[in-house]
Amino acid sequence: MILRLIRKSELSEGDTKLKKLMGKTYLVRKNASGIQVIEYMCRHQLASLELGKLEGNVITCPRHNWKYDITTGECIFGDGTPLKFCKFEEDSEWIYLVVDSDYE
Ligand code: FES
């Protein structure tokens, strides 16, 4: 299944946007390397990281303080499980989230 996530016109190079879809928050980034879509949910107990504290590239989960590098997804404090990079597709107008069969 694919779902519309963000219009490409909302995303200029260098932008990072948060989008909510089906109860989850996604971080969408466009830079010189291309587009990244990251599930912006803590890998501990799936708290949205939207309300976390962002310092530089490190987001701290508001619930139990796990920390992630949002550029690499690396978990730098917690059990080491990285943020989930999501599959996406795009056409001339939209970026679509590709939803896995294990979508929770
Ligand atoms: S839910 Fe994020 S650290 Fe527990």
Residue pLDDT, tens place only, 12-64: 999 999 999 999 999 999 999 999 999 999 999 999 999 999 999 999 999 99
Residue 67 lies in a domain: yes
Query: pLDDT at position 11, please?
Result: 95
pLDDT of the residue at 101: 64
The answer to whether position 88 is within a domain reads yes
User: What is the residue range of 53's domain?
Assistant: 2-98
User: What mean pLDDT comes out for the span 92-102?
Assistant: 88
Ligand 1 contacts CB of residue 67 (under 6 A)? no
The predicted structure's pLDDT at residue 5: 97
- pTM of the complete model: 0.91
Residue 103 forms part of a structural domain:
no
In a domain, 26, yes or no: yes
Whether residue 104 is contained in a domain is answered as no
Q: Evaluate: CB of 31 within 6 angstroms of ligand 1.
A: no
d(CA 99, CA 39): 11
CA distances from 19 to 22, 37, 38 (A): 10, 10, 10
- Number of folded domains in the chain? 1
- CATH number of the domain that 89 lies in? 2.102.10.10
What is the C-alpha to C-alpha distance for residues 41 and 47, in angstroms, rounded to an integer?
A: 5
Please, which pLDDT band fits residue 100 given cuts at 50, 70 and 90? confident
